[in-house]
Amino acid sequence: MTRTAERTGTEIVLTGLGGTEVVTTRTTTRGEPGKHGLLVRTEAAGVAFAEVQMLRGRYPAQPAFPFVPGYDLVGEVVAVGEAVTSCRVGQRVAAMPRTGAWADYVEVRDSDVVPVPDEIDAAEAVAVVLNGVTAWQLLHRAARVRSGQTVLVHGAGGGVGALLAQLGALSGVRVIGTASAGRHEVLRPLGAELIDHRTEDVAARVRELAPRGVDAVFDPLGEASLRRSWELLAPGGALVAYGSSATLTDDSPWWRPYLGMLGLIGRWELLRLVGRTAGRRARMYYVRTNREYRKDLTELLRLVACGRLRPLVGMRLPLSQAAEALDTHMAGRVTGRIVLVTDHVRESR
């Protein structure tokens, strides 16, 4: 079944390694979805650190060039495959295909989408599809943080970090966050106690603010940072690694930083099993589109719809300005999520 829509659309393509000079735009003719597929007309797509890594060839298992990037999207279903019964044409959905979302039309599997309430702004909705679920699962599934506990968020000015601050506050958690001073004014209303990681001794300030240690640290930076974060944990605390952003410009193979982190975490786990970490634990986190993901995204969209959660959208740019969006992301000029929007937002909402 198909809804009337344009037969052609625009998509963004990464043609090879480099900077924004390898980002191009091309016109494509949309097809019909496969048996279990949905054709979604994109309203908004997120700009993530993953795309920055892809430009450098440092994202795990990224496609061969050229390819269409784009980790997550929100849009309207305009066609469904013959075996699809769970979704209908005209329905608004969110999806996380990991690549391919920077396009006017994207095909996704029916089992991978979550309904999006019509009243939610498209940019705010897409801000929780990847980043929101990541923040939620870091807090509630990976670290199992409880009300009254204290956590440290590295990179509180990023898309995940800002949502960690908000979701922590909603759960009665005290959040200490690192961010450059230029981001503090925007971040302060989110409820985090902020440390300027460029001018302050982060470890010393955390020990001042939480003398017994913190109950969880969320660290996207890499192996060197993990070693420092481990020392800041209170007995029974959890360290969760979810990236290696500090190694973006390394000359080593993309997998080497992750291998180093896994080795470090494995060593700590062995020590924990023999009772030598005072109950402290460490793990690696990676978001997956499974049943838990869909459940958590549904809850996040409910929180946005009722006004309890307001994702921090730092910039909205047209899809055609994807190169500028990447350049802005790499320069760190925006606090919160950068979002690409299409003309379809104005047509359908």
> For residue 159, what are the contacts with CB-CB under 8 A and spacing of at least 6?
46, 48, 127, 130, 131, 312, 336, 337
Kindly report whether the global pTM for this prediction surpasses the value 0.85: yes
The b/e string for 141-179 (b: 16+ C-beta within 10 A; e otherwise) is ebbebeeebbbbbbbbbbbbbbbbbbbbeebebbbbbbb
What is the reported pLDDT for 3?
57
Rounded Cα gap, residues 345 and 339, in angstroms: 12
What is the reported pLDDT for 246?
81
DSSP 198-251: TTS-HHHHHHHH-TT-EEEEEE-S-HHHHHHHHTTEEEEEEEEE---GGGTT-S
What is the reported pLDDT for 61?
85
- Tracing tokens 């949502």 back to the chain, one arrives at 163
**Which residues in the chain show pLDDT less than 50?**
346-349
Rounded Cα gap, residues 304 and 297, in angstroms: 11
What is the reported pLDDT for 2?
53
What is the reported pLDDT for 348?
41
> What CATH number has the domain spanning 130-284?
3.40.50.720
What is the reported pLDDT for 125?
98
Contact of 160 with 338, CB cutoff 8 Å: no
**CATH of 8-127+312-348 given 3.30.470.10, 3.90.180.10, 3.40.50.2000, 2.40.37.10:** 3.90.180.10
> In the Cβ-directed half-sphere of 76, how many Cα atoms lie within 13 Å?
17
Which DSSP category does 35 fall into? T
SS3 109: strand
Rounded Cα gap, residues 89 and 80, in angstroms: 7
> For residue 292, what are the contacts with CB-CB under 8 A and spacing of at least 6?
137, 141
Please list the alpha-helical segments (H only) found in 274-321: 291-305
- Tracing tokens 């054709």 back to the chain, one arrives at 39
Cis peptide before 115 (omega within 30 of 0): no
Every domain of the chain and the residues it spans: 8-127+312-348, 130-284
Contact of 98 with 123, CB cutoff 8 Å: no
What is the reported pLDDT for 332?
86
What is the reported pLDDT for 347?
43
